[in-house]
Structure 1
Amino acid sequence: MNFTGFTQADFDVFRITGLDERMTALKASIRPKLEFLGEQFSGELSVLAGNEMFSHVAKHARRTVNPPDDTWVAFADNKRGYKKHPHFQIGLWQSHLFIWYAVIDEAPHKAEIGSLLEKKIDYLRKHVPDEFVWSDDHRKPEATKMKDLSNEQLLHLFQRLQSVKKSEILCGVHLPREEAVQLSGPQLVEFIHEAFVKLIPLYKLS
């Protein structure tokens, strides 16, 4: 496809009421673009990560009533799924585009990853840009910039990953929709590539 980036209409899909209506619009406008990005970056991430990465576009198949508030394509070194593995995501909320490195609640090795990150605060300060954001819940759009987190707050995130069953850790970029829609397809691909390059050290740690 001729990827032209995301439009205001893409972000406005999340304003459509009704599960069927929103899913119809999402499948028509956003999903083809996520599939393109999946093909584009599965190879790139395989090179960056040093092992084969597979793309997984969110299907939202379990939903029966509530329409999705966000959607994404994920990348993991497992062909069957991504939720149990450290992975990457590109996706949209109504308010912004996100690019994540993620360890979510279904990952069985969360505690080991949290313990490792806990010992690498100085390394993370050096390698994660100040403007990158952290989150402890992929189901919420909010996140906090690296520069606004103290070492103690980072430690709390990593210790929580070790002790709380539903805990998660995500690190990456939020691009407000107003800025995302200004980027052409090639510009957005380059932006995402640069974000992944900066997130690879975090992935390799885990």
Structure 2
Amino acid sequence: MFKGFNNRDFDVFKIDGLQERMEKLIERIRPKLEDLGKEYAGELSALSGTEMHYHVAKHARRTVNPPKDTWVAFAPNKRGYKMLPHFQIGLFESHVFIWYAVIYEAPMKVEISKKMLKNVMSIKQQIPDTFVWSPDHMKPEAVSHKELKDNGLEDLISRLGTVKKAELLCGVHVAREKATSMTAEEWHSLLSSTFRQLMPLYEMHIVSSS
């Protein structure tokens, strides 16, 4: 059972060298991601009505640069998740992220973008102000839903459908200082509520591809 993150987990990303960082990542963080995968695959399956499989990041393609973040992803495919809209739980050195994600490998980005633009007003109302949006899963920065002024959200969604490498992620950031003090019960409450609030975005993909 997942019990939370500690400072040693975040400090993994300060370690120099690919092999050295990967060794500690595998030792300290990967078991927790496995626990999260086992714990929340079932919950996401129940919420979505589709069997969800979890995939812990292996960073297998890296040959020089050590990873700046790591995660477990959830998708309705045993073989992979990158080509599908999916959910993620992971961490950078600065924070934990809980995402609904459509990344650049997804071939249905144009259709998802069109569907989201048609429903942008309901998305603006449904997503809490404390949630954040990101156009790039490889960067730790994100903008809060509340701060997306005027047509900011429309611009992010449009970009998903018109720029080849564009991505769109929505969810929650938990700063390291807070993340290291949270109990297992607090994590369960946050993860469950976040996934419930993100599920309408995922269901929008299901409707658009059916």
Q: How many residues align?
A: 205
Structure 1, 187-196 or 83-92: larger mean CA deviation: 187-196
Percent of pairs with identical residues: 56
1:40 aligns to what? 39
Q: What is the root-mean-square deviation of aligned Cα atoms in Å?
A: 0.8
Equivalent runs, 1:33-72 vs 2, <5 Å? 33-72=32-71
Equivalent runs, 1:41-120 vs 2, <5 Å? 41-120=40-119
Q: Which digits, 9 at most, give the CA deviation of each residue in 1:76-118, with x for residues without a partner?
A: 0111100000000000000000000000000000000001111
Question: 1:48·1:200 contact (CA, 8 Å) conserved in 2?
Answer: yes
1:175 aligns with 2:174: yes
Gaps of 5+ in 2: 206-210
Structure 1, 115-124 or 81-90: larger mean CA deviation: 115-124
Q: Which digits, 9 at most, give the CA deviation of each residue in 1:29-64, with x for residues without a partner?
A: 100000000000000000001110000000000001
How far did residue 151 of structure 1 move? Answer: 4.1
How far did residue 159 of structure 1 move? Answer: 1.0
Secondary structure of residue in 2 paired with 1:171: strand
Secondary structure of residue in 2 paired with 1:106: coil
Query: How far apart in 2 are the matches of 1:99 and 1:49?
Result: 16
Gaps of 5+ in 1: none
Question: 1:18·1:66 contact (CA, 8 Å) conserved in 2?
Answer: yes
Structure 1, 138-147 or 150-159: larger mean CA deviation: 150-159
Q: In the alignment, residue 158 of structure 1 is paired with which amino acid?
A: I
How far did residue 152 of structure 1 move? Answer: 0.9
How far did residue 194 of structure 1 move? Answer: 1.0
Relative to structure 1, the CA distance from residue 112 to residue 151 in structure 2 (aligned partners, 3 Å threshold; closer, same or farther) is farther
1:128 aligns to what? 127
Question: 1:121·1:151 contact (CA, 8 Å) conserved in 2?
Answer: no
Secondary structure of residue in 1 paired with 2:91: strand
1:20 aligns to what? 19
Query: How far apart in 1 are the matches of 2:178 and 2:146?
Result: 21
Q: Which digits, 9 at most, give the CA deviation of each residue in 1:140-178, with x for residues without a partner?
A: 000000000024111111111111100000000000010
State TM-score, norm by structure 2.
0.96
How far did residue 4 of structure 1 move? Answer: 2.2
Q: In the alignment, residue 78 of structure 1 is paired with which amino acid?
A: N
1:138 aligns to what? 137
Q: In the alignment, residue 52 of structure 1 is paired with which amino acid?
A: E
Query: How far apart in 2 are the matches of 1:203 and 1:179?
Result: 27
How far did residue 186 of structure 1 move? Answer: 2.6
How far did residue 136 of structure 1 move? Answer: 0.4
Q: After the TM superposition, which segments of 4 or more aligned residues of structure 1 sit over 4 Å from their partners?
A: none
1:31 aligns to what? 30
